[in-house]
Amino acid sequence: MVDLSVEICGLKFKTPIMPAAGPTTRDGDSLVKAAEGGAGGLVAKTVSTTLAHVPRPCIIKVKDSLMNAELWSDIPLDHWLKHEYPMAKQTGLPLIASIGYSAEEVREIAPKVAAAGVDALELSTHYLSDSAPVVEATKAAKETVKIPVFVKLSPNVPDVAQFARVVEEAGADGIVAINAIGPCLAIDVENAMPMLGSSHGHGWLSGPAIKPFAVRCVADIARVVKIPIIGAGGVTTGRDVIEFIMAGASAVQISTAAIIRGRKIYGLMADEMAKFMRAKGYNTTNDLKGIALRHLPEQPFRTTAKPVEVIASRCNACGLCERYCLYDAIRVVGRVAKVDSVKCYECGLCVSVCPTRAIRF
């Protein structure tokens, strides 16, 4: 029996999969729906001292990813305190409240939000790239509440690991990495107008396009901090959850995939994760935690070629490897792909595109 549950800062999550602050957690009702979709914990949309005046349009799809110009919540804080958080708490899941942004704002909001019964705080630092204001905000939260304080990092910093270490020293109980990446720009070529209604048309990229960047950030942070990390950025499948955990995360958050594929995604990912773990003999989420870190050496593994091989029983002769091969080194002959080891450059592209994982080094 696979056990997906995780404990982070004393909070018990039934799975390591939860929604990220965003439109799928914009109020109590959405948070209840996320719980119904199988989330293991909840993270509410960021609130601040004032209401956000959100530019429109504020979300567009870019391939499989999204660009958004959403700000924090446009629901008054009082309403969150009286209605939205209590409604979300009724799910029985750990509830993390995202708050922002300056130390003054955090000092004002944190105690009120904690008094509403949330289980932890997450400080959103989307608009801060210098560590000084984040350190101040972290200290302000730690001085005013007793519940765990997570700090969510913007990727717009020169050294995310160093940033995380500074935040840990300031007293953070955990790190959330990462927020959406930007600013980005998309232009509608029909009318030469920006697709988002924000100033300069700027938006923030999220979803599969940013996943490799997010996994790298998590791995870099995991090597230098002792506090738990919650990964975010492009998590779309159960395998993605496992990838983040192998890179050192204790849990993950999801926004884009839940917007695009619906709220059932949390439970579906948990099922996929459990299936993978059963097949590979992992019993608990903790068995996966950080296990890829030892395989991330400072020097390359090797620069000499090592032949790729095709596991004939798995090959369905789809021909994708042949189409992608830049070196004409792989051909489907009869019902199976065959590699010409003299031509093969060992670039690895065929290994990554094979849908049945029939090609390996």
**Which conformational region is residue 34 in: left (phi greater than 0), alpha (psi within -120 to 50 degrees), or beta?**
alpha
Name which of 142 and 211 has its Cβ closer to ligand FMN.
211
- Please report, as ranges, the residues that interact with ligand FMN according to CB under 6 A: 20-23, 45-46, 59, 66, 68, 70, 72, 98, 124, 126, 152, 179-180, 206-207, 210, 232-235, 254-257
Q: How far is the CB of 57 from ligand FMN (least distance, A)?
A: 11
Residue owning tokens 């990964």: 231
Q: How far is the CB of 19 from ligand FMN (least distance, A)?
A: 8
Give the C-alpha separation, 5 to 98, whole Å: 22
Give the C-alpha separation, 133 to 54, whole Å: 23
Residue owning tokens 């801060």: 128
Q: How far is the CB of 311 from ligand FMN (least distance, A)?
A: 32
Name which of 265 and 350 has its Cβ closer to ligand FMN.
265
Name which of 120 and 330 has its Cβ closer to ligand FMN.
120
Q: How far is the CB of 229 from ligand FMN (least distance, A)?
A: 13
Name which of 150 and 282 has its Cβ closer to ligand FMN.
150
**Which conformational region is residue 196 in: left (phi greater than 0), alpha (psi within -120 to 50 degrees), or beta?**
beta
Q: Taking a C-beta distance cutoff of 8 angstroms, is the pair 214, 233 a contact? A: yes
Q: Of 169, 177, 179, 102, whose CA–CA distance to 141 is shortest?
A: 102
Q: Taking a C-beta distance cutoff of 8 angstroms, is the pair 98, 44 a contact? A: yes
Name which of 25 and 144 has its Cβ closer to ligand FMN.
25
Q: How far is the CB of 276 from ligand FMN (least distance, A)?
A: 19
Q: Of 171, 169, 131, 173, whose CA–CA distance to 153 is shortest?
A: 131
Give the C-alpha separation, 35 to 264, whole Å: 9
Name which of 20 and 161 has its Cβ closer to ligand FMN.
20
Q: How far is the CB of 198 from ligand FMN (least distance, A)?
A: 12
